[in-house]
Amino acid sequence: MGVNTQWEMGRSEAACSPGTVVVRLDRAVKTYRAGSSRVRALDGVDFSLAAGTWTAVMGPSGSGKSTLLHCAAGLDTVDDGRVALCGEDITAADDRRLTRLRRGTVGFVFQNFNLVASLSAEQNVALPLRLSGAGVRRDQVRGALADVGLADRGRHKPRELSGGQQQRVAIARAMVTRPVVLFADEPTGALDSTSARAVLALLRAMVDETGQSIVMVTHDPMAASAADAVVFLSDGRVVDRLDRPSANRVAERLASLEV
């Protein structure tokens, strides 16, 4: 299968089978201008995510977490180093290819859900299909809502749903295109602890049962402990990694970085 065909499909089965690396950053550097000086938001970051695994990214405010997420997902570009998705170097990808990538290969979930208030849950979930021009199949949309436990809420508007339900609609919307990688930016940050646990259990089930790959930025040690591994950033560098972390271990490590 040719490279372009893989990208056209959105999901690259050959390069993204279990055990392969779906996200890779090699010595990634990203600088921003801050007045007359420059900030190195990513200062030579190496990062890799194996297919079918979930990594949390933590670190003090300003340590580069959002920048890492955005560069890894093709929302932003690095100044130096390489970023690859499913073995494809996206560092030099043009806008058209990056747009295709965003619509097919990666999915996003945000802290504040970012649902369209005037649309029903079903219409929100259908949006990525409309945008990709793939055509909207109702069974696909309903299936995505059923997968997040909201089969009976399709006609509800976001304001008629709890925060946890809205986030689950957002997850259904992200997953309806069957992205290779789900990028989640503080997905439980706006939720009460019960709703947060439900969302984390849902993400965990997606990884364990369907082999979904997830990169999640979080401040919450409890959320991070649901992941397979936690990578810690400080001043744009990866300074530590914990595998199968407990919330206590994560909290301790985070506190030591925030001092």
Residues that bind ligand ADP in the complex, under the rule CB under 6 A? 32, 34, 39, 41, 59, 61-67
* Smallest gap from residue 41 Cβ to ligand ADP (A): 3
Are 169 and 145 a contacting pair, CB within 8 Å?
Answer: yes
* Smallest gap from residue 257 Cβ to ligand ADP (A): 11
Cα distance between the two ends of the chain:
50
- Taking the C-alpha atoms of residue 158 and residue 118, their distance in angstroms, rounded to an integer, is 8
Give the closest residue to 167 by CA, choosing from 213, 214, 175.
175
Nearer to ligand ADP, 36 or 61 (CB): 61
**Helix, strand, coil proportions of the chain in percent (round to 5)?**
40, 25, 35
Nearer to ligand ADP, 51 or 227 (CB): 227
- Taking the C-alpha atoms of residue 116 and residue 118, their distance in angstroms, rounded to an integer, is 6
Give the closest residue to 43 by CA, choosing from 67, 74, 69.
67
* Smallest gap from residue 175 Cβ to ligand ADP (A): 24
Nearer to ligand ADP, 144 or 224 (CB): 224
* Smallest gap from residue 169 Cβ to ligand ADP (A): 25
Nearer to ligand ADP, 32 or 244 (CB): 32
Sign of dihedral through CA atoms 256, 190, 201, 24? negative
* Smallest gap from residue 214 Cβ to ligand ADP (A): 17
DSSP conformational letter for 40:
E
* Smallest gap from residue 248 Cβ to ligand ADP (A): 22
Nearer to ligand ADP, 115 or 233 (CB): 233
Are 60 and 257 a contacting pair, CB within 8 Å?
Answer: yes
Nearer to ligand ADP, 42 or 176 (CB): 42
Alpha helices in the chain (DSSP H): 3-9, 65-72, 95-104, 121-132, 138-147, 163-175, 193-210, 221-224, 247-258
